Chain A
Amino acid sequence: MSRAPNQHGPLVDLGNERPQVPARARNLSPIVPRASIAGRALVAVVAIMTFLASITTGTVLLVSASAAEWQSEVASEITIQVRPTAGRDLDRDAAAVTAAMRAQPGIIEVRPFTKDESAKLLEPWLGSGLVLDDLPVPRVIVARVQPGTALDLAALRRAVTLVAPTASVDDHRAWIERMRSMTGATVFAGIGILALVIVATIISVSFATRGAMAANRPIVEVLHFVGAGDRYIANRFLRHFLRLGLEGGLIGGGIAMLAFGFSESIAGWFSGTPVGDQFAALLGTFSLRPSGYLALAAQALLIAAITAWASRRTLFATLDDID
């Protein structure tokens, strides 16, 4: 026998007492009052977590972009060192190597460093006013490679050493490898921080959900009395937590995006200082690409979704305890 509420007549007959029923619809109170959930603290926690996650992701994106830029610049150059040795004319060897390099296919520019330029390179170590004639300083020749060209490095080495036996060719492979591992380490550290932030968010949200459920236990019990299932009850709470998560994500992610938006100006304030210069060298112009901002927005949404998911998980576990 199932209940069909509308198939009966009125439950009570009021006769002359029958009231005039107002036609207006009533604004029903929410089943779970918004004020009963410690929302502000949770919004603050989610906002802080989203901000930290966004700063981490943004920094990782900046480092990766800068590293990719350096790598492409470095990879498109080859440096030849011609070392002085007894019985050989260094200037002539350098000119011969320059000529040999120019003859190589795929080389678009060859630039031998002059003595003054070489002195400039050594200035940080040996001081200014250097007279290179007194020192056995090798000569440096920089060659630019046509982008996309696969150079036969062994043939190039053979050609160079044929004209200058003391010359060595460096394609910066070791440097690129170090750069790659540094970028990898930065990305790895960033992912680690992101994982910690997400775990901390889940724990905070779980505690907040448990607190809200404890505060609203009488409501949950009454809802059980009137036949509400766990899914119905959980959904009443879930919409609050999803809203709190979105609010927190929006605030944290928004502030982080603004921070990256203004970072160029901020970097400008520090330019000329040692710290500013180091950061500029490491991160370039500090400006995030549009895809970076999209990634930050997606991350804020992800954290809001994680908030809702953690809340839902805790809700069902707590509902099991209450019943």
Chain B
Amino acid sequence: MVRFENVGLRYGLGPEILRDLSFQIPAHSFQFLTGPSGAGKTSLLRLLFLSLRPTRGLVNLFGHDVSLLGKDAVADLRKRIGIVLQDFRLLDHMTTYENVALPFRVMGREESSYRKEVIDLLKWVGLGERMDALPPILSGGEKQRAAIARAVISRPQLLLADEPTGNVDPTLGRRLLRLFIELNKSGTAVIIATHDITLMDQYEARRFVLHQGRLHIYE
């Protein structure tokens, strides 16, 4: 599903922050991505989400060499990827429900066709009572859950999550991990970038450790 070969990344003329990354992410797989702050976890997720292009090396996503993709093809591929970012990126003028339903709306689906699914998921992540609230009045944890719900609602083939449990209590963190595991069981490859060792210890999965720009994989 994802193949990196000798991938390097630098910003502008700065030093290379990711070096010689070579790995594969098979379909239906689950992995944690960890490493110290500034190790390049977010940059690697952005490479996987195609919002950054590598400075060198080959990135192959869903069988496509990303260096050859045009804008429309990138948009099509992104529809198969869900992403949860640290700063949530919710739209402030839309309710929690509308934010979570946004991927369906962009696909052109009728509201009635996804209403039940969205409401069920909002209940599951503990936002059942907040579905008509606007993001500015949500707490950090609630925003995070809404962002996760938006990323998983359309059952992407690949889910990228950057510190998805950083703002929630351990109980809710476990509940969200269960959501990711359920999603993985239904066929989605999951990559969770986290510092939270307790979270990683709760589920046996492959660990990618980034250190000084290099990737070490622990099966």
Cα-based distance from A26 to B104 in the complex (angstroms): 14
Contacts of A323 in B (CB 8 A): 51, 71, 74
**Nearest CB of chain B from residue A231's CB, rounded to whole Å:** 8
Contact with B along A180-195 (1 / 0, CB 8 A): 0000000000000000
Query: B94 on the interface (CB 8 Å rule)?
Result: yes
Contacts of A19 in B (CB 8 A): 119-120, 123, 128
Query: B182 on the interface (CB 8 Å rule)?
Result: yes
Q: Is B116 a contact partner of A224 (Cβ separation < 8 A)?
A: no
Cα-based distance from A154 to B116 in the complex (angstroms): 93
Q: Is A26 a contact partner of B115 (Cβ separation < 8 A)?
A: yes
Contact with B along A220-231 (1 / 0, CB 8 A): 011111111111
Q: Is A222 a contact partner of B182 (Cβ separation < 8 A)?
A: no
Cα-based distance from A237 to B94 in the complex (angstroms): 16
Q: Is B150 a contact partner of A21 (Cβ separation < 8 A)?
A: no
With contact pairs A3-B79, A227-B103 given, residues A26 and B121 touching in the complex (Cβ less than 8 Å): no
Q: Is B106 a contact partner of A223 (Cβ separation < 8 A)?
A: yes
Contact with B along A257-295 (1 / 0, CB 8 A): 000000000000000000000000000000000000000
Q: Spot the interface stretch: B16-24, B153-161, B195-203.
A: B153-161
With contact pairs A3-B155, A221-B89 given, residues A11 and B120 touching in the complex (Cβ less than 8 Å): yes
Contacts of B150 in A (CB 8 A): 226
**Nearest CB of chain A from residue B181's CB, rounded to whole Å:** 12
Query: A1 on the interface (CB 8 Å rule)?
Result: yes
Contact with A along B150-172 (1 / 0, CB 8 A): 10111111000000000000000
With contact pairs A12-B121, A225-B83 given, residues A28 and B78 touching in the complex (Cβ less than 8 Å): no
Cα-based distance from A5 to B107 in the complex (angstroms): 11
Query: B105 on the interface (CB 8 Å rule)?
Result: yes
Quick one: which of B27-70 are within 8 Å of A by CB? Answer: 27, 49, 51, 62
Of the candidates A17, A19, A320, the one having the most CB atoms from chain B within 10 angstroms of its own CB is: A19
Shortest Cβ distance from B79 into A: residue:
A227
With contact pairs A221-B89, A222-B91 given, residues A11 and B117 touching in the complex (Cβ less than 8 Å): yes
Contacts of A196 in B (CB 8 A): none
Cα-based distance from A223 to B78 in the complex (angstroms): 10
Q: Is B89 a contact partner of A224 (Cβ separation < 8 A)?
A: no
Q: Is B78 a contact partner of A3 (Cβ separation < 8 A)?
A: no
**Nearest CB of chain A from residue B162's CB, rounded to whole Å:** 12
Q: Is B123 a contact partner of A14 (Cβ separation < 8 A)?
A: yes
Number of interface residues of A (CB under 8 A): 37
Of A2, A17, A320, the contact of B123 (CB 8 Å cutoff): A17
Q: Is A227 a contact partner of B76 (Cβ separation < 8 A)?
A: yes
Cα-based distance from A229 to B78 in the complex (angstroms): 9
**Nearest CB of chain B from residue A35's CB, rounded to whole Å:** 8
With contact pairs A226-B103, A227-B75 given, residues A3 and B124 touching in the complex (Cβ less than 8 Å): no
Of A5, A17, A28, the contact of B105 (CB 8 Å cutoff): A28
Query: A255 on the interface (CB 8 Å rule)?
Result: no
Contacts of B72 in A (CB 8 A): 229-231
Contacts of A222 in B (CB 8 A): 89-91, 102
Cα-based distance from A320 to B70 in the complex (angstroms): 11
Query: A218 on the interface (CB 8 Å rule)?
Result: yes
Query: B95 on the interface (CB 8 Å rule)?
Result: yes
Q: Is A230 a contact partner of B75 (Cβ separation < 8 A)?
A: yes
Shortest Cβ distance from B116 into A: residue:
A21
B→A interface (CB under 8 Å): 27, 49, 51, 62, 71-72, 74-76, 78-81, 83, 85, 89-91, 93-95, 97-98, 101-107, 109, 111-117, 119-121, 123-124, 128, 150, 152-157, 179, 182-183, 186
